[in-house]
Amino acid sequence: MGHRTFLPLTHPNRKRKNDFDGTIETRVARFPLTGKEVFERVKDIDVVLGKLYKKPTPNSIWKKRSIFWDLPYWEHLQVRHCLDFMHIEKNVCESIIGTLLNIPSKTKDGMKARLDLQELGVRAELAPQQSGKRAYLPPACYTLSRKEKISFCECLSSVKVPSGYSSNPKNLLSMKDLKLLGLKSHDCHVLMQHLLPVAIRGIMPRHVRVVIMKLCFFFNVICSKVIDPLTLDKLQADIIVTLCEFEMYFLYSFFDIIVHLVTHLVREIKICGPLYVRQMYPFERFLCILKAYVRNRHHPEASIVEAFSTEFERGNSITSQDVKKSYYGVIEEIWEIDYKDFKVALFKCKLFDIRRGVRVDESGFTLVDFNRFGHEDDPFILATQVKQVFYIRDPADVRWSIVLQGKRRIIGVDNVEDEEEYNQFDENPPFSIGLQTTSIEDSTDISYARNDHDEGVWIDHQ
């Protein structure tokens, strides 16, 4: 697939033949063509408009020359066309979900993909098994059993998000067929960056689950409103390793041009700035047709907040430093204190015990225990100290619930005042810490077939 060419020359993955396409990778990724180099290749192409006219171009990968090359400055631009991140994310999300749930026309697994493995001479345990006019495809490491599919769909079906957050996930699910249907761009945006990492907890082998979560983490980070330029090189290195791990676990049919474009997103951010200024979600949601769809009327049973308190360090009462702690809870009552000249809003909350009822797991998720409340002597919080969050029951352990952030503005879609701030999530990501790269030692003896169930796919063929 070519992603190993972006790795350092000494990276161990370059020599791992059987885990990839059966070859050792010795090539290096070439530098992008400059505008002048591209112009030299397209300047002599004759453009004849019309669908009926097809002129063969055996020596060129381009079929036409864009009219923008007539602009005197066009060949000097570092980025002439920004990547359509919204649809890149949508296509990657649909490919992952379609493959996990084995949705017809969406899955990247099938008879032809398995025969490709035979031709390359790798992953013999995934070879199709003929049985008369039917063929059996053994379960790959990413193939979900029916029980796991039910767990995946039930997790998404039980999600209740705040109003204006996204469409109701339950309306996108078919529990009868165990499929996700009618996904819009913004649905894929929320799924990929927030809900998918939660839904796959506790299912699939760990190495497959982690690599999917790493890709979700990457999308979440590059969509941030503020990005530290010093972290971009590490992000670029991490996404290359992540895509190489995808090559190790998923079939080669998964890697179309859309997946490859993910490798170029960081370079575009370096030149053009954060992606959020070029996203089209706010414009999509202004359309009358989509308004009724994206507004979610299924409110959680209680409004949920994340409150911050400031404390002083012990032992230094003169030059003490402020310490910020996060408290998670549920709003019970909203009070308004009237001082005649001004009013103050207070929230009366039930807060979780910060010591025994709140924890951060190895994947970076913040979890709370609904059976452990505390801090009953101080239930009131100023409204200005609050950020909105909501909880999703952890499918891996029903005793815990996962904290996900709300949006910066929680009013309805009809009252948009600032288009730049609209549709932005709060600055506390769902991943409190970054996911660690799977070590070479852990992935040496990975089985590419599922050994814990035999629920493969039966297909009819000629």
Which of 238, 232, 231, 234 is CA-nearest to residue 216? 238
Beta bridge partners of 407: 425
pLDDT at 6 over 90: yes
In whole angstroms, give the CA distance from residue 103 to residue 100. 8
Q: Is residue 424 part of a domain?
A: no
Question: Do 136 and 284 lie in a common domain?
Answer: yes
Residues present in the chain in total: 462
Question: Do 138 and 236 lie in a common domain?
Answer: yes
Q: Which residue has the tokens 């999917």?
A: 212
Q: Is residue 421 part of a domain?
A: no
Number of domains in the chain: 2
Question: Do 148 and 228 lie in a common domain?
Answer: yes
Q: In 10 A of CB 133, how many CB atoms?
A: 8
Which of 272, 294, 234 is CA-nearest to residue 423? 294
- Is residue 21 a contact partner of residue 122, using CB atoms and an 8 Å limit? yes
Backbone angles phi, psi at 259, to 5 degrees: -65, -40
Q: Is residue 25 part of a domain?
A: no
Model confidence pLDDT, tens digit, residues 80-99: 888 989 899 999 999 999 99
- Is residue 210 a contact partner of residue 230, using CB atoms and an 8 Å limit? no
Residue 461 pLDDT = 63
In whole angstroms, give the CA distance from residue 217 to residue 204. 18
Question: Do 309 and 358 lie in a common domain?
Answer: yes
Residue 14 pLDDT = 93
Question: Do 206 and 268 lie in a common domain?
Answer: yes
Which of 295, 284, 298 is CA-nearest to residue 167? 295
Question: Do 315 and 332 lie in a common domain?
Answer: yes
Q: Is residue 425 part of a domain?
A: no
Residue 101 pLDDT = 94
Question: Do 316 and 274 lie in a common domain?
Answer: no
Residue 394 pLDDT = 92
Question: Do 290 and 314 lie in a common domain?
Answer: no
Question: Do 233 and 341 lie in a common domain?
Answer: no
State the residue range of the domain holding 159: 83-295+448-460
Q: Is residue 397 part of a domain?
A: yes
pTM of the complete model = 0.84
Question: Do 172 and 201 lie in a common domain?
Answer: yes
Question: Do 246 and 333 lie in a common domain?
Answer: no
Question: Do 336 and 263 lie in a common domain?
Answer: no
Model confidence pLDDT, tens digit, residues 323-375: 567 888 888 888 999 998 999 999 888 989 988 999 988 888 889 999 999 88
In three-state secondary structure terms, 6 is helix
Q: Is residue 431 part of a domain?
A: no
Q: Is residue 27 part of a domain?
A: no
